Structure 1
Amino acid sequence: MKPRPRPLPAGPDQESVWAYPRPPRLERVPERLEIWLGGVRVADTTAGFRVLETSHPPTYYLPREAFLPGVLRPASGGSACEWKGQATYWTLVSGSAVAERAGWSYERPTPAFAPLAGHVAVYAGLMDECRVGGVRVTPQPGGFYGGWITPDIVGPFKGEPGSWGW
């Protein structure tokens, strides 16, 4: 197993992902969450959640009703999370833009994550743009995880090259 990386120092009004817990914690998000695809804002809410887990930037979950009608389409496959349960995948469609398996949800989450039922997370890197509180996010590196990085979060982040064993 690789040694734990050296966390970057958190400045004023910043959070270190290395201070996040394991198992992860679920929190309500007071900020506005927005997602664009195909040049259209396809989701908008102030009723989201974020999941905080050691070494990961937050993963944001929006209520299904925050998405424009027809944007979310069931996708094949699934996966399991030891903390949240069995994941369902979604393809997002907006005009001619199609993002295959770009979203996921936990339709019957574990009791600790029960509030996530009916909420969908998306890979920011497969969208035109995602915002938290009006700030454009950077996708979590590596393409496997779905965290959203904002300037108030410091790493290093799981998903970066060489981080698989963290």
Structure 2
Amino acid sequence: MTLDLDAQDRAGHGELRVRAVVKRVRALHGGETVADSTSARLVCEPRRVVASYAVPESDVRAELVPHDGEPGGSDRPVLDPRVPFTVHTAPGEALSVRLGDGTLAEGAAFRLTDPEVAGLIVLDFGAFDWLDEDEPLVSHPRDPCHRIDVCRSSRTVRIERDGGLLAESSRAMWLFEGTFGWVRHYLPREDVAVPLVIDDSRPTFCAYKGRATYWSVPGDDPVLHRIAWSYEEPLHDAEQVRGLVCFFTERLDLSIDGTPVPRMWTPWAEPD
């Protein structure tokens, strides 16, 4: 019998996925401890691509109260990090967290009711400051089975928009990430054929790569708005792509060594 791990990963996205964590995990707010656990779990609700931390209710040091808001929902086939925490696809009870200063973090907790994980409280990563042991985290918990692999390549990467050259390089760094099934090409800025202007109004954060800075090609073409990004101060996993530019090739025309590459689908395939 052969087990296709890629197919197994894809099939599992429709289920509640849980993984044990061996680290001490803490959630803080204003320097006050909200949760402190050595029994945390990584939890991915159905269709979610990024995990949240869940801890035993006994490890939550703040008051949990019923959430008065309407339950969130989404018909998206994939719930990427832009879908708010309050959208839940697993059985459970939405909760708010009463913090030490009396304020309420609305909908920032979720009590799972699946019998196999009953008693676990999932916490909204964005509502708190998080530590793995004493290491600060950004964006979302780091999955021990997810890794970044960066390779130098002399293959020629050419990126176009409606026949117009945007960039071409035979010294790109190819970044492969986890089980995403796609590759990102990070190019030296000298190999970008068009001017780029920074758009830092809405930076994003990756738990493995750090803070992304976005770039636009000047002009009226909406596809070229925030069409590229770079990591100016990357986390250690992405040090090899420091300062290099990567384009959303799912919106553009990509060829490798002269051979066109079909556009891939990602949650970022449409301009934001």
Match of 1:84 in 2: 209
Match of 2:239 in 1: 114
Match of 2:182 in 1: 57
Post-superposition shift, 1:39?
2.9
1:84-137 Cα offsets, whole Å, 9 max, x none, are 1100011124x764511111110111123212112111111322x111221212
Choose 1 or 2 for highest CA Rg.
Answer: 2
Is 2:50 the partner of 1:45?
no
Structure 1 spans left out of the alignment, 5+ residues: 7-20, 146-166
**Whole-Å Cα distance in 2 between the matches of residues 4 and 132 of structure 1?**
28
Contact 1:34/1:43 (<8 A) preserved: yes
1:3-32 Cα offsets, whole Å, 9 max, x none, are 6236xxxxxxxxxxxxxx721111112200
Contact 1:31/1:46 (<8 A) preserved: yes
How many equivalent pairs are there? 127
**Whole-Å Cα distance in 2 between the matches of residues 90 and 42 of structure 1?**
13
User: Which runs of structure 2 are paired with 1:141-160 in the superposition (5 Å)?
Assistant: 141-144=265-268
Structure 1 length normalisation: TM-score? 0.67
Q: Which amino acid in the other structure matches residue 255 of structure 2?
A: R
Contact 1:86/1:108 (<8 A) preserved: yes
- % same residue: 25
Match of 1:5 in 2: 10
1:24-58 Cα offsets, whole Å, 9 max, x none, are 11111220011112532121111101111223211
Q: Which structure's residues are more often strand, by fraction?
A: 1
**Whole-Å Cα distance in 1 between the matches of residues 254 and 193 of structure 2?**
15
**Whole-Å Cα distance in 2 between the matches of residues 114 and 143 of structure 1?**
25
Across the aligned residues of Structure 1 and Structure 2, the Cα RMSD in angstroms comes to 2.4
**Whole-Å Cα distance in 1 between the matches of residues 245 and 212 of structure 2?**
10
Contact 2:216/2:227 (<8 A) preserved: yes
Of 85, 91, 104, the residue aligned with 2:229 is: 104
Structure 2 spans left out of the alignment, 5+ residues: 1-7, 12-144
Structure possessing the higher relative contact order (Cα contacts under 8 Å, 6 or more residues apart): 1
* 3-state SS, counterpart of residue 190 of structure 2: helix
Match of 1:11 in 2: none
Structure 2 length normalisation: TM-score? 0.42
Q: Which amino acid in the other structure matches residue 37 of structure 1?
A: R
* 3-state SS, counterpart of residue 160 of structure 2: strand
Of 159, 168, 179, the residue aligned with 1:35 is: 159
